[in-house]
Chain A
């Protein structure tokens, strides 16, 4: 036996512990599957935690209809291969009203098609706990997020209702209408996630790896032209450039980075001396100060 567990083994064990607690104490938990690398790790951990049983909860994807096409293909294939039940929810009212990142901008689109849609889905299925892949290192306001975080009946986050978390004793008791958000990857960093993906040979969406893709440069971001819905501005001509994505979301709102990292090892090397934060490519985070915190209070995951 080795002298001690490695830090990845310890992080993995902690996450599995959290997933098992969630399954044991909540009556109707769900895993929010957003198709990104963190969701891929989360899903892998869920497979491990309940082996040889299948994870005792369903997967939920909130589809804004503006995700990269490769993401949707990947999502459907993975759910099929693993034999897991995947629920896909889209805010139909938003869709009917024609809400899109193009016409309504990042803030409104995210509010209606993501935050509002998530609340709809949680209410529709009566989930009392939603497991997500958010990490404390993503953004300064996340550093103080709990592993078991409470939301009130309208899914809002109230800093005063968050409970101190000591040892591995989690308070799962909820008041009427309250629900929990559970973050098993709280203590992981972006680098941990990639190192783990490499170690465990976890499959991720190919968009994370550099390739020549059609992009336009817009407001300081590299936006990939994923389909014909992206209206080109005058003088904008899509160019084939070597790019990859550090996070994946709605394609018109997700900035690519120029990169030649075509393997996981390349990505890890890039991260080790890459010196920009992970979410800097996300248009939604860059509003007034404390933008993410306000979003969370409103029910953003």
Chain B
């Protein structure tokens, strides 16, 4: 580009992802694209030239190394973003590794991509990883795929070798629902058909890779129904109440009717505000601020939509789920969900299946491990507005965040809403819980005892129960072992079953507290997330987390039920404290250090806390 080309720039933006491994020549292909597009400065280029192990040709792969740790290990372990510009387009290329964590990294890189380049080594043909990469591309909703058949120089540029691979890939693409595939024979190392058409393959009459990328049409989100996510309420001038956000789909004109979701309130757009002046019309992709004709209630998290083709409104839906975290996804465990600009608490209510990444078949599963893809039903804590991901990538996606580590652990693509919850309404009865507790002379409460097996939970709970009963209080004990003999006898000791075990106990405790009782729950309850769920379900006023803190060594010495011995002998698997984790409370309401006090002192401490909180008078 020279200075005379400067001026109004009409280039648009294309986001792409390359899928393949170093063995396929992926880094070489990217390096070649970047170097030939002038995106790599000479001082960086010099570090890649020459390379003896590369027949004296530049080692373009060298240019892509990001982190020092990766250079030392010789692998790329994360998603890197590279940019290059041609006279027609500006490109953002997500460079994702083909080895470790490929699902997580590819899903991340693919989430925003318009086009995916799937690399195949011409001398090796389709490999299991070709299937895996293509399956992720399809799951993440990329419609356009370039099958780049690389290393054509190794097969003497034969048309037959190319044609065989193209035919084989066609059936794979059909199974995955990838309808738009363009196949290009290339040699990244030698530059054939990368930037310019190659003389070595006169039989190929399609475009070179870069020419294709420069001209491929992108999906026009502005032709879809109007969607606008409210990010921030702008009260910048006297009387102004404008809603700042990005137009996620469609077009908007001043005067257009809109609906605020999920509330369903209607109004009309009165102004489209930008820094450069008000607009008459705006379109998908623009970040603007809107004012409405009526003083309606709009807040961050709301979705504005047009009157035609409204989004779904539901508190349950089915979605494809990509798991990103080392800790598995457990059905029943609550996660923070970011959907649009809103935040929810969400649980997977049912994992329908996980995808076998080698065959594409659905397999029954109780949990999703890192880098697995599953299909699941999810339930939210309230109604949300969304579209199916296939209809709109911007309004049909979500991420799940772990409530303890705050890590992004899952990514989801919504398939369809579930209506079951809509048919169940909450029955209201005329006698409420305060009336029930008033005749008992105390407030309802749940005392949640957590600690290792053998720590003394049941002993102290029993002692408290007797003391309360002697005072004429109304109590009930829920004990882990006893519940497992009845209500929860269908559950084992896997992480998934432990989560469900606790969920049921929380609900039972809630019913008993609702009946006005003081409920003593004596459960190992090893995971913070479930205890936090209990606190939220029961309400912080009525919930007391009591940590029965006895060291593992002491519990094992006591071993009242002989369980530690059995576990050590390998007769019990998933035993808490040994081969299954116990996450101690960070900040319990009551901390009973059993090594330092007697059971009587423990009972006094708990009763004192109950009086302080006004549960006992």
Contact = CB atoms under 8 A, between A and B. Distances in A.
Given A6-B12, A24-B300, A144-B79, A265 B68 contact: no
A20 to B, nearest CB: 4
Given A50-B236, A51-B275, A166 B108 contact: yes
Contacts of A159: 67, 69, 78
Interface stretch (B53-61, B179-187, B397-405, B567-575): B397-405
A4 interface: yes
Nearest to A272: B1
Interface string B220-247: 1000000000011011110010001110
B231 A171 contact: no
Nearest to B248: A168
B234 A50 contact: yes
Given A48-B275, A171-B401, A195 B9 contact: yes
Nearest to A10: B13
Contacts, number: 198
A38 to B, nearest CB: 15
Interface stretch (A78-86, A106-114, A120-128, A274-282): A274-282
B12 A268 contact: no
A17 interface: yes
B66 A144 contact: yes
A5 B247 CA distance: 12
A169 B399 contact: yes
A231 interface: no
A71 interface: no
Interface in B337-394: 338, 341, 393-394
Interface string B448-479: 00000000000000000000000000000000
Contacts of A191: 85
A171 B338 contact: yes
Contact of B235 (A2, A53, A187): A53
Contact of B11 (A6, A49, A178): A6
A278 B120 CA distance: 35
A234 interface: no
Contacts of A293: 67-68
A52 interface: yes
B12 A7 contact: yes
Nearest to B78: A144
A189 interface: yes
Interface string A124-140: 00000000000011001
A24 B244 CA distance: 10
A232 B324 CA distance: 56
Interface in B1-56: 1-3, 6, 9-13, 38, 41-45
Interface in A269-296: 269, 272, 274-278, 280, 289-290, 293-294
15 contacts: A1-B283, A4-B12, A5-B12, A6-B11, A13-B285, A21-B231, A48-B275, A54-B236, A143-B66, A143-B81, A164-B105, A174-B406, A269-B2, A290-B68, A293-B67
Given A20-B232, A166-B408, A187-B81, 10 more contacts: A4-B12, A8-B9, A10-B12, A144-B78, A164-B79, A168-B394, A170-B338, A186-B81, A265-B6, A272-B2
Interface of B: 1-3, 6, 9-13, 38, 41-45, 63, 65-69, 71, 78-83, 85, 89-90, 92, 95, 104-105, 107-108, 111-112, 218, 220, 231-232, 234-237, 240, 244-246, 251, 273-275, 281, 283, 285-287, 289, 300, 324, 336, 338, 341, 393-394, 397-399, 401, 405-408, 411
Q: Which 9 pairs across A and B sit closest by C-beta, in order of nearness?
A: A53-B236, A290-B68, A269-B3, A275-B42, A7-B90, A166-B111, A48-B275, A277-B41, A16-B287
